[in-house]
Amino acid sequence: MAHDQGRLLPWVTGDGQPCFLVAENGQGYLSRVADDMERVQLGMAVELLGHADDMLGDYGATAAQLRYLGRRMAESLRDVHRIAVSRGARMADPVLD
């Protein structure tokens, strides 16, 4: 993603399109909201990993439970990937420095 597109936010539009924040330089209200949401999403990913470890070790887990876990893990991975892309795009480009 180009730096002039702005910050990729940790949420999408109602129809699944990415949201960008332009011209706030990381200091405004929406940047703080996005930072908070990223913290929540990353914390939820850690909790989900714990649940996954437990459930995958339980041979009594049903197929429906495992499918539900898989769906939540896919959602969480999507969130974590979006955060990584957003943060990577905001890093200083060593070629430009």
**Domains of the chain: total:** 1
3-state SS of the chain is CCHHHCEEEEEECCCCCEEEECCCCCCCHHHHHHHHHHHHHHHHHHHHHHHHHHHHCCCCCCHHHHHHHHHHHHHHHHHHHHHHHHHHHHCCCCCCC
Of residues 63 and 1, which shows the higher confidence score?
63
The answer to whether residue 97 is domain-embedded is no
The answer to whether residue 94 is domain-embedded is no
What value does the mean pLDDT take over residues 69-95?
A: 89
pLDDT above 70: percentage of residues in the chain:
89
pLDDT of 9 higher than 50: yes
pLDDT digits (tens, 9 = 90+) for 28-41: 899 999 999 999 99
The answer to whether residue 96 is domain-embedded is no
Range of the domain at 68: 3-89
On average, the pLDDT of the chain sits at: 89
